[in-house]
């Protein structure tokens, strides 16, 4: 299914999510993986040193995350879990303007829901994110450009977040598209920034710039864009010189005090799967697709504003 063809279909039917129906409950362990045909490699791993890896998100033009990305990210996280030498990993983007953005709305939802649950017993996306948080590897999200939806969720599952003061945007626009986020922000944001600011992020659905992200604790720090790379690289090399077992032991203990229970993350994913199939979501996603979501850089770049305008005049 090519993008232009789908887009024409959307314009004709006015219903973007016609194909987004699910036969089963989305967590059936027996279901086979959906993505049978080989997908373009959207994630690259560079071993800067044996102890310091870089994971580059490279799915232009917007770093959209789709069901085809799931096994690719899963492979990276599995390698991080199993490699005896890696101590620190930096997630970064090679796509200008985008760290990583929202889930791909074009493939049928069943491509995602038919995938088997992961090692934690959670469906693949929350499974991978939980495993990243628990891995005995220190993960740092270096955020330049937009970290929306799944992009924000990957950043939140990482151990630390550093943002470009001028070029980072973090957000959860999902509420404006009529469905609930699914990859952890309702569980993770309140523990990071308190209930009030977390509710503003997920109920307001608007773009959060580098300054506010730092003030709210959404990121550890926002740095001048020109300093971001050197800062993160210095920190990563520093950590790579420490003892791997000590790093893992310390992370384990912080996790006891701070990680949400897996059940909260599972419940959040279930809420996403349910809500995204409701008429409110189907209609709003359809409207967004007609406006050019996943095609038009203007729409993707101003997603916070766009979902706000979508609601205008709605009762």
Catalytic residue list contains 92: no
| Residue whose CB is less far from a copy of itself, 42 or 206 | 206
* Cα(106)–Cα(285) distance, integer angstroms: 10
Q: Is 26 left (phi over 0), alpha (psi -120 to 50) or beta?
A: left
Residues ≥6 apart with Cβ < 8 Å to 154: 91, 100, 129, 132, 141, 147, 183
Contact 162, 129 (CB under 8 A): no
Minimum distance from residue 105 beta carbon to a copy of itself (Å): 16
| Residue whose CB is less far from a copy of itself, 76 or 189 | 189
Minimum distance from residue 112 beta carbon to a copy of itself (Å): 19
The rounded radius of gyration (Å) of the Cα atoms in the chain is 19
| Residue whose CB is less far from a copy of itself, 54 or 62 | 54
| Residue whose CB is less far from a copy of itself, 7 or 221 | 221
Minimum distance from residue 83 beta carbon to a copy of itself (Å): 12
Minimum distance from residue 90 beta carbon to a copy of itself (Å): 14
* Cα(285)–Cα(16) distance, integer angstroms: 6
| Residue whose CB is less far from a copy of itself, 71 or 204 | 204
Minimum distance from residue 2 beta carbon to a copy of itself (Å): 31
The Cβ of residue 145 has, within 10 Å, a number of other Cβ atoms equal to 24
Minimum distance from residue 214 beta carbon to a copy of itself (Å): 8
Q: Choosing from 42, 153, 287, 300, which is the catalytic residue?
A: 153
| Residue whose CB is less far from a copy of itself, 6 or 77 | 77
Q: Choosing from 92, 174, 268, 300, which is the catalytic residue?
A: 174
Catalytic residue list contains 312: no
Q: Could you give the residue numbers annotated as active site?
A: 153, 174
């Amino acid at each position: 299914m090519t993008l232009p063809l789908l887009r024409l279909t959307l314009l004709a039917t006015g219903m973007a999510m016609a194909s987004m129906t699910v036969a089963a409950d989305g967590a059936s362990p027996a279901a086979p993986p959906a993505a049978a045909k080989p997908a373009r490699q959207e994630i690259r791993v560079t071993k800067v040193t044996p102890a310091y890896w870089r994971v580059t998100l490279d799915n232009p033009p917007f770093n959209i995350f789709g069901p085809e990305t799931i096994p690719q990210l899963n492979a990276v996280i599995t390698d991080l879990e199993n490699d005896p030498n890696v101590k620190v990993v930096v997630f970064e983007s090679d796509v200008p303007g985008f760290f990583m953005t929202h889930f791909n709305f074009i493939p049928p939802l069943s491509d995602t829901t038919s995938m088997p649950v992961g090692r934690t017993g959670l469906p693949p996306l929350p499974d991978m994110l939980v495993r990243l948080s628990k891995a005995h590897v220190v993960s740092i999200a270096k955020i330049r450009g937009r970290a929306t939806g799944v992009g924000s969720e990957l950043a939140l599952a990482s151990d630390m977040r550093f943002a470009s003061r001028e070029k980072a945007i973090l957000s959860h626009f999902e509420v404006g598209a009529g469905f609930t986020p699914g990859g952890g922000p309702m569980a993770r944001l309140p523990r990071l920034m308190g209930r009030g600011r977390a509710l503003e992020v997920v109920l307001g659905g608007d773009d959060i710039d580098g300054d506010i992200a730092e003030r709210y604790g959404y990121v550890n720090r926002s740095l001048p864009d020109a300093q971001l790379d050197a800062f993160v690289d210095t920190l990563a090399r520093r950590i790579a010189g420490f003892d791997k077992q000590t790093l893992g032991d310390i992370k384990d203990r912080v996790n006891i005090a701070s990680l949400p229970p897996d059940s909260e993350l599972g419940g959040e994913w279930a809420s996403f799967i349910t809500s995204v199939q409701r008429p409110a979501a189907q209609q709003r996603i359809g409207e967004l697709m007609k406006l050019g979501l996943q095609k038009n850089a203007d729409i993707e770049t101003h997603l916070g504003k766009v979902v706000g305008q979508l609601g205008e005049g709605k009762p």
